[in-house]
Amino acid sequence: MTPFTSQDLRKGFASFATGVTVITCLDESAGHHGITISSFNTVSLEPPLILWSLKKQSRLMPWVEVGKMHLIHVLERSQEQLAMHFATVKQDQFLSVEHRLAASGLTQIEHCVAYYECETVSVHTGGDHNIIVAKVISLKNHPEREPLIFARSKFVGLDFSEINPA
């Protein structure tokens, strides 16, 4: 095996294409927060579980601990600006974002490909991140919409006509 630097590892990880999600949650004062995450992954159908990871030092960590609810949004191909918007911490994150409140009280961003309302069931340490495992409580899917993909440090889309020829 060849030794590698953290920069080499980052470049290697960038070769793996991922979907792009925004996760919204509530703080202890019912304040709304969101963050862009590309580490979303499915775990199990029975029970319905997903996982994603968050830096241990993230300000959002207390609001996604075991028993807390969050809403995962799979971004649509045209939502690159939203991905960048939620990639950095800012005040009043939802001011210029088209959204509504879900029945749960969580912020739901409009026009996404899919939505997974989840409850955290466990948190595991994984290096400098925590791995959040969550049970899907409810979902909404829009298969006619194209997902936003992130690969080699760029946003890309898929041509579904090549995948599902008419």
* Domain layout of the chain by residue ranges: 6-152
Q: Which CATH class is domain 6-152?
A: mainly beta
CA distance 37 to 46: 24
Q: For residues 110 and 15, which has the higher predicted lDDT (pLDDT)?
A: 110
Q: What percent of the chain has pLDDT over 70?
A: 95
Residues 136/128, Cβ–Cβ less than 8 Å: no
CA distance 125 to 21: 21
pLDDT per position as a tens digit, 4-27: 898 888 888 888 888 999 999 999
Give me the pLDDT at residue 2, please. 79
State both tokens at 44.
């199990």
